[in-house]
Amino acid sequence: MTKTKSHNGNHYVVLGDLTLHGVTKEVVLDLELFGTVKDPWGNLRGGGSGTTEIDRKDFGIVWNKLLETGGFVVGEKVKVSLEVEGILKK
């Protein structure tokens, strides 16, 4: 995460760098935080879900195969979904 762009309640727009196939690009992640809870060891844990969409060709991933019926095996747009949990560093 490089920067939080905006937020509305528990929804955030987060900017960050994604590296695939040796290419690093800035991506925008729509993030929803589910909240925080204290675990049995006294740590504060938080969880959330994030999504973004990238164009694989922007990262130099250009392989594809034409199907006999037309169309391609792999689309250019890729949806990325994350389910994350973190512990607040003391």
The CATH number for 22's domain is 2.40.128.110
* pLDDT greater than 90 at residue 13: yes
* pLDDT greater than 80 at residue 1: no
Query: What is the predicted pLDDT for the residue at 19?
Result: 95
Residue-wise pLDDT tens digits, 23-81:
999 999 999 999 999 999 999 999 999 999 999 999 998 888 888 888 777 788 999 99
**Domains of the chain: total:** 1
The range of the structural domain enclosing residue 23 comes to: 3-87
Q: In what order do the strands lie in the sheet with 3-8?
A: 3-8, 11-20, 23-38, 44-55, 77-87
